[in-house]
Amino acid sequence: MNPLLIAPVILPAMLAPLIVLALRGSLPQQRAVSMLGTLALWLIAVRLVLAADLGGVEVYLLGNWPAPFGIVLVLDRLSALMLLVTATLALLTGLYAIASGWDARGRHFHALFQFQLMGLNGAFLTGDVFNLFVFFEVLLIASYGLMVHSGGAPRLRAGVQYMVINLVGSTLFLFALGTLYAVTGTLNMADLAERVSVMPAGDVALLRVGAVLLLAVFAIKAALVPLHFWLPGTYAHAPAPVAALFAVMTKVGAYAILRIFTLIFSPDAAASAGIGGWVLPAALLTLGLGTAASLGATTLPRLAAFATVGSMGTLLIAIGQFTPQTTAAGLYYLVHSTFAAASLFLIADLIAARRGSLALVPGPAIASQGVIGTLFAVAAIGISGMPPLAGFVGKLLILDASRGAALVWLIWAVVLVTSLLSVLAFARAGSVLFWDTSAPAADQTAYPGLPIPIAAAPLALMLLLSVLAAPAMHYMERTAADLHAPAAYIDAVLGPVR
């Protein structure tokens, strides 16, 4: 057993209480500990990606209880990739929160931040569906605190809505788990996969109910239409670094769909045939609706939030086809869309700090107009999927991989038309914000300079992902091949002799 597997959960779980108990008086110390911890997390994630790419599936038995009796943490290429994306994003958003002073506008930002990372890492590593529920709750309860960080009545009201939606989702999750346990008698993912494949015909109906409930829960997390209503209000009201970190929260839903519906309810299994097929039409609707709504957005964070909904649609179009080619393309797009959405929220915050308002109405020119305007244009290129950033490569890969699909013409039409509409929406917003300006106002405020390069960093990452598309895509192809041949995962968890 590789003890490094539990480190991404243990490390933030130890740091958060330390920050809240021992360092509560000193913000500089909180910042130092939180960022050093996140840096350590990033190094661990890099190490785990290398380990997963070389050594295949690794298993950590909690308390050394053999699976399926104890809870297992499982590291494969997919979970290692998600850990690395999360740690990278956390590093950037944490630094931005410090540089822009967001973490000083309320209490306990860094403690909640670490708890959030603990929940995210745990959700990506666990090999037990009930444990997945528990880590969902950990990341959600931290996100409730982060979402209302620095307070204010509109933010609290949006926070209540966000909480209510997610509590209903948690209840559905429990109903789904109860149903699955009643049918199969296990909650270990690998064991579930084995038992579902030999399910007697009489129990299949109940099993399918559980599968559909699980899909609904993950669709809420992934903001899949018609379960997307929580996202725009939440993201638009959340503090900017938190909204940027939440870019990976929707990906948790996408990850869970990918994991559960390739491992347990694979499209090939007779008991679960057709359930995953619901994802593709919903994803097409999500992309269409998210992009159409971003055309009508009246504020910059709402524009970014609806663009996030649209990018989740594109991602789930790839994932929802459940073939190795589309999965690989989808994973590549997942990495890109996480950083694209994060950069949009950070740049929106740069603009908001200088304009004082986020409404998309003409106004005086802002300080460092040229730099921020350029960043906004690059981020818009990124999220719309135009060259040279990784969004273009990602969309191209998704279109190419979808050629074998029955709905290929519909998929191509929706992806291409929405890309054009997305360019329009961002061109409109950009020209209102940066061109339709009155005489430069005499703004003498000295803005901190550091947030600008930090907000630009995700854009550089997107460019890097585009330049390194070949090695990245090879990794994604190996990941997708693993996911669509889950025997190695099941053997690693349950042992070859059963």
Partner 1 sequence: MEWLVASAVGVMTGSGIYLVLRQRSFPVILGLTMLSYAVNVFLAASGRLAVGLPPVLSDTAAGYTDPLPQALVLTAIVISFGMTAVLVTMALGAFIGSGHDRVEDDPGAPE
Which residues of the shown chain bind partner 1 in the complex (CB under 8 A)? Answer: 130, 134, 137, 141, 144-145, 148, 151-154, 156-161, 163-164, 167-168, 170-171, 174-175, 177-179, 181-182, 187, 233, 236-237, 299, 301-302, 358
- How far is the C-alpha of 117 from the C-alpha of 83, rounded, in Å? 9
Least separation in angstroms between CB 297 and partner 1: 11
Give whole-number Cα distances, 399 to 65, 224, 317, 333, in Å: 45, 20, 10, 12
Distance CA 207, CA 142 (A): 32
Q: How far is the CB of 323 from partner 1 (least distance, A)?
A: 34
Rounded least distance, CB 153 to partner 1, Å = 3
d(CA 321, CA 262): 11
Rounded to a whole number of angstroms, the minimum distance from the CB of residue 364 to partner 1 is: 19
Residues across the chain: 498
The residue among 484, 75, 496 whose CA lies nearest residue 269 is 484
Question: How near is the Cβ of 108 to partner 1 at its closest, in Å?
Answer: 13
Q: Taking Cα atoms as reference points, which of 92, 76, 83 lies closest to residue 135?
A: 83
Is the separation of the CB atoms in 216 and 276 below 8 Å? no
CA 263 – CA 267 distance, rounded (Å): 9
Measured from the Cβ of residue 35, the count of other Cβ atoms closer than 10 Å reads: 18
Token pair 């968890």 in the structure block, residue? 493
Q: How far is the CB of 322 from partner 1 (least distance, A)?
A: 28
The amino acid at 26: S
CB-based contact 321:280 (threshold 8 Å): yes
Distances (CA, A) of 263 to 86, 200, 376, 402: 22, 19, 40, 21
DSSP letter (8 states) at residue 269:
S
Of 175 and 412, nearer to partner 1 (C-beta) is: 175
Residues 6+ apart with CB under 8 A from 487: none
Q: Which residues pair with 188 in a beta bridge?
A: 128
- Retrieve residue 348's tokens: 């929106």
Angle between helix axes 77-100 and 249-263 (nearest 10 degrees) is: 170
How does DSSP classify residue 402?
G
C-alpha to C-alpha distance for 243 and 219, rounded to whole angstroms: 19
The angle at the Cα of 379, spanning 385 to 104, to the nearest 5 degrees, equals 140
Of the candidates 438, 369, 482, 491, the residue with the CA atom closest to the CA atom of residue 81:
482
Of 113, 175, 160, give the one whose Cα is nearest residue 138: 113
Q: Which is nearer to partner 1, 256 or 476 (CB)?
A: 256
Q: Which is nearer to partner 1, 185 or 449 (CB)?
A: 185
Closer residue to partner 1 in complex, CB, 108/478:
108
CB of 179 to partner 1, least distance (A): 7
